[in-house]
């Protein structure tokens, strides 16, 4: 079977082209995230994987759950994915769409995992530094992981900056051992 990212790519690119042409990147992002949430449900996964379930009824069930979030084009996408038995690729389609959207909007989402809560002032400073380095607007998502002992790990796209105490201790132990 083909790799899920390979299956998802043409759908994500087509949806992105439609969304960009219509000026509805945000709306499509919301629709795709909604469909991804619905199709990720274990009960829904069982229905999606069951080839004896009527494809049209499955699409209508998803659209009924999604409610008013879906517009006509979004509904047509759900029907197309159901018809082609590609509903299992929705999460990857949504992820690839978000990558294309971020590229077009010159934005990037960065994650800070810190040993303790990061102040708003420090978050702004980090976002400004990342913006200068990456040449894109940065939105930050912050989480706390006390196992880092101190410092933080910053991830933005392919870039990872590990300034955690635990990473520094690991590095020191390797140097002492070798």
Task: Dump pLDDT digits (tens) for 62-85.
Answer: 999 999 999 999 999 999 999 999
Residue 1 has pLDDT above 60, yes or no: no
Residues 6 or more apart in contact with residue 101 via CB below 8 angstroms = 16, 19, 25, 29
- Name the class of domain 4-102: mainly alpha
Task: Map out the domains of the chain as residue ranges.
Answer: 4-102, 108-177
**1: which DSSP letter?**
-
Residues with Cβ within 8 Å of 144's Cβ and at least 6 positions away in sequence, in order, are: 113, 114, 115, 116, 117
Quick: pLDDT tens for 85-143. 999 999 999 999 999 998 898 888 899 999 999 999 999 999 999 989 888 888 899 99
Average pLDDT value for the chain: 92
Three-state SS letters, 118-158 = CCHHHHHHHHHHHHHHHCCEEEEEEEECHHHCCCEEEEECC
């Amino acid at each position: 079977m083909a790799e899920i990212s390979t299956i998802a790519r043409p759908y994500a690119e087509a949806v992105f082209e439609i969304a960009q042409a219509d000026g509805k990147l945000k709306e499509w992002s919301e629709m795709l995230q909604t469909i991804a949430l619905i199709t990720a449900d274990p009960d829904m996964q069982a229905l999606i994987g069951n080839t004896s379930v009527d494809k049209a009824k499955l699409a209508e069930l998803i659209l009924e759950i999604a409610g008013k979030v879906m517009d006509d084009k979004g509904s047509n996408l759900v029907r197309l994915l159901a018809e082609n038995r590609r509903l299992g690729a929705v999460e990857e389609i949504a992820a690839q769409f978000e990558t294309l959207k971020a590229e077009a909007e010159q934005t990037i989402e960065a994650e800070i995992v810190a040993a303790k809560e990061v102040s708003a002032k420090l978050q702004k400073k980090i976002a400004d530094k990342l913006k200068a380095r990456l040449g894109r607007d940065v939105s930050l998502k912050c989480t706390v992981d006390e196992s880092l002992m101190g410092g933080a790990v910053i991830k933005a796209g392919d870039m990872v900056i590990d300034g955690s105490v635990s990473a520094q201790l690991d590095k020191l132990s390797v140097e002492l051992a070798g």
